[in-house]
Amino acid sequence: MIVLNSSDGATFEVEESVAVQSQTIKHMIEDNCADTSIPLPNVNGVTLARVLEYIKKHAEAKDDEEGLKSFDAEFVKVDQASLFEIILAANYLDIKGLLDLTCQTVADQIKDLTVEEVRAIFNIMNDFTPEEEAKLRNDHAWAFE
């Protein structure tokens, strides 16, 4: 069993065979840095719990394609803040499947939206100057698709 420490001090136990889905953890184990516990200063407790849920499910139900698909679909039904936290965690822990799933989810959220809607959903400020915006609008109307 491997022990993981989140940034806010929570500890989690997980089987080594499950934990090695994270390339980062896998390398740490191989480099013998995992004697007592592995510190993960970039991931908080709540997010780490979620990530572990994902890798546990994917380890135990490896061949059940349909089951995993529906699990994944439910897994990403979280609020935006949590979704981005999971993306960052999956990136740091180098878990390709989770990273692809979450990034695809964000991409799907952008699907079919107009510019204003994208900004609204992700709370993004428009930092173009009016001239730049006009040029962009022109480009999109006249120059290319």
Partner 1 sequence: MDISTAGGLLFLLNEDLLTRIYSFLSGDSSDKKSFRATCKTFYRVDSLQRTHLRILRPEFLPQLLSKFPCLNSLDFSGCPRIDDGALAVLLRNGSVPFWATKLRRAVLSRSCGLGYYGLDILVKSCPVLEIIDVSYCCTFGDLEASAISCAANLRDLRLDKCLGVTDVGLAKIAVGCGRLEKLSLKWCLEITDIGIDLLSKKCSNLKQLDVSYLKVTNEALRSISRISKLEVLAMMRCGMVDDVGLRYLGKGCPLLQVLDISRCDKLSSTSIVSVIKGHNGLIELHASYCFFELHLTPYCLSLELKNIKTLTLDGARIAHSSFQLISTSCKFLVEIGLGKCKGVTDNGILQLVSGCINLKMLNLTCCGDITDMAITGIAESCQNLVCLKLECCNLLTEKSLYSLGSFSYLLEELDLTDCSGVTDLGLGYLSRCSKLVCLKLGLCTNISDKGISYIASCCTKTCELDLYRCSGVGDDALASLSVGCKKLKKLNLSYCNKITDRGMKFLGHIEVLSDLEIRGLLNITSEGLTAVAAGCKRLAELDIKHCENIDDSGFWALAHYSRNLRQQINLSNCAIRDVGLCMVMGNLTRLQDAKLVNLINVTVNGFELALRACCVRLKKVKLLTSLRFHLSQEIVEMLAARGCRVRWD
CA–chain centroid gap for 135, Å, is: 34
Tokens of 37: 């516990």
C-alpha dist (Å) from residue 73 to 31, 51, 54, 62? 35, 15, 12, 16
First to last CA, the chain: 53
| Residue selected from 123, 130, 131, 134 as contacting partner 1 according to rule CB under 8 A | 123
Q: Is 36 in the site for partner 1 (CB under 8 A)?
A: no
Binding residues with partner 1: total (CB under 8 A): 39
Tokens of 32: 């013998």
Q: Is 23 in the site for partner 1 (CB under 8 A)?
A: no
Q: Is 40 in the site for partner 1 (CB under 8 A)?
A: no
- Near partner 1 by CB under 8 A, which window of 16-24, 26-34, 51-59, 129-137? 129-137
Tokens of 27: 């390398």
Binding site for partner 1 (CB under 8 A): 80-81, 84, 87-88, 91, 99-100, 103-104, 106-108, 110-115, 117-119, 122-128, 133, 136-137, 139-145
